[in-house]
Amino acid sequence: MKKILIAIIALSVSMSVFTSCKEAADKAKEASEEVGETLDEAGDDLKDATNEAVDAVKEAGKEAVDLGEQALDSIKKAGEETMDKVKEAGEESLDKAKDAAKQAIDSIKI
């Protein structure tokens, strides 16, 4: 009878250990699945953040091009205005030189 009682106790302990191991395995599987889902979400978040960063860089590049074009337009306009002033000053100087030459010629004729 002792042997049967010991066998029943041993069997009972074995079943308890087996049940605990199965529960631990199930919990480990659940935890593994949760980690996988979390990693998938983190990957998606990283992808979204990368795409947003790329879009921001593209936008900044477009803005830089626009600013560069505006700067070139300003430089071109300033150059054109300067050339116009130089031409005007040159024409005025030419007119003054003509008048001075005419006056010199007129003074010689007298």
Measured CA to CA, the distance from residue 97 to residue 101 in angstroms comes to 6
Residues 75-103: what's their mean pLDDT? 77
Here the tokens at position 8 are 């029943």
- Does the pLDDT at position 11 exceed 60? yes
pLDDT in tens, 51-69: 999 999 999 989 998 898 9
Measured CA to CA, the distance from residue 86 to residue 95 in angstroms comes to 14
- Does the pLDDT at position 70 exceed 80? yes
Measured CA to CA, the distance from residue 106 to residue 108 in angstroms comes to 5
- Does the pLDDT at position 109 exceed 70? no
Alpha-carbon dihedral sign for residues 42, 46, 47, 49:
positive
- Does the pLDDT at position 94 exceed 80? no
Measured CA to CA, the distance from residue 59 to residue 70 in angstroms comes to 16
Here the tokens at position 104 are 């010199």
**What's the pLDDT score for residue 110?**
52
- Does the pLDDT at position 39 exceed 80? yes
